[in-house]
């Protein structure tokens, strides 16, 4: 009977661990064309409607490729840093601001977040009243994996805008809020 209980307890722990890992399961998109194709297919944004920077800097860190697209109140950002650590540092700024907002009880609604040594994510559907994170309704996700940072969000709770963000994230194979 003890072995049976131990086996069941072990299985339950395994299932719980898999469920936590599954929440943050997304791939690094190291080819900017995949991001651009997803913009076009999911929300109808063409490459010529994007602001694109090659071999630039963001927050003083070298980047290989940056894409910024804005459409009808929705923001889509792709930054491929030269160095994995720079991408994590960039994401950690968002993550720290988000954590501070949570601790200050400035976040209302649903959210999920997680961070490891080489990846992290924030998914949010609600309202932030933080001066550091966002001070508005917000729906979207912020992701880092290896040297790539991706964000897709809207500062609106209008269904058409949240659907655009959800379609885009789905096209990338990323989780949605």
Q: Where are the domains of the chain?
A: 28-172
pLDDT of residue 13: 42
pLDDT of residue 129: 80
Instruction: Identify the bridge partners of residue 57 per DSSP, sorted by sequence position.
Output: 62
- Gap between the Cα atoms of 145 and 115, Å rounded: 10
Rounded to the nearest integer, the mean pLDDT of the chain is 86
- Gap between the Cα atoms of 101 and 45, Å rounded: 32
DSSP conformation class of 158:
-
pLDDT of residue 24: 55
Q: Model confidence at 32, in pLDDT bands (50, 70, 90)? A: very high
The alpha carbons of the chain give a radius of gyration, in whole angstroms, of 18
- Gap between the Cα atoms of 35 and 64, Å rounded: 14
- Gap between the Cα atoms of 142 and 95, Å rounded: 9
* Percent of the chain's residues with pLDDT above 70: 86
pLDDT of residue 43: 96
Tokens for 140? 């979207």
Of 169, 159, 162, residue with least CA distance to 78: 169
Other CB atoms within a 10 A radius of the CB of residue 117 amount to 7
pLDDT of residue 107: 85
pLDDT of residue 141: 96
pLDDT of residue 9: 43
Instruction: Identify the bridge partners of residue 76 per DSSP, sorted by sequence position.
Output: 69, 152
- pLDDT tens, residue by residue, 117-146: 989 999 999 888 877 777 788 999 999 999
Whether the pTM exceeds 0.95: the reply is no
Dihedral sign, Cα of residue 91, residue 92, residue 97, residue 99? positive
- pLDDT tens, residue by residue, 78-122: 999 999 999 999 999 989 999 988 898 988 899 999 999 989 999
Q: Model confidence at 22, in pLDDT bands (50, 70, 90)? A: very low
Task: For residue 55, give Cα distances in angstroms to 39, 61, 75, 80, 150.
Answer: 22, 10, 22, 10, 17
8 Å CB contact between 87 and 146:
yes
In residues, how long is the chain?
A: 177
* Percent of the chain's residues with pLDDT above 90: 69
Q: Please enumerate in sequence order all residues whose Cβ is within 8 A of that of 85, keeping only pairs 6 or more positions apart, or say none.
A: none
Q: Is the pLDDT of residue 71 over 60?
A: yes
């Amino acid at each position: 009977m003890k072995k049976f209980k131990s086996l069941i307890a072990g299985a339950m722990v395994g299932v719980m661990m898999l469920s936590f890992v599954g929440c943050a399961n997304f791939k690094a998109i190291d080819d900017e064309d995949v991001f651009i194709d997803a913009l076009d297919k999911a929300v109808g944004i063409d490459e010529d409607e994007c602001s694109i920077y090659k071999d630039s800097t963001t927050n003083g860190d070298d980047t290989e490729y940056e894409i910024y697209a804005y459409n009808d109140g929705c923001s889509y950002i792709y930054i491929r840093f030269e160095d994995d650590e720079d991408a994590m540092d960039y994401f950690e700024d968002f993550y720290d601001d988000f954590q501070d907002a949570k601790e200050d009880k400035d976040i209302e609604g649903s959210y999920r977040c997680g961070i490891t040594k080489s990846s992290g994510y924030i998914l949010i559907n609600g309202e932030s009243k933080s001066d550091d994170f966002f001070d508005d309704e917000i729906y979207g996700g912020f992701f880092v994996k290896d040297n790539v940072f991706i964000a897709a969000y809207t500062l609106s709770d209008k269904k058409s805008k949240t659907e655009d963000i959800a379609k885009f994230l789905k096209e990338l194979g990323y989780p949605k809020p």
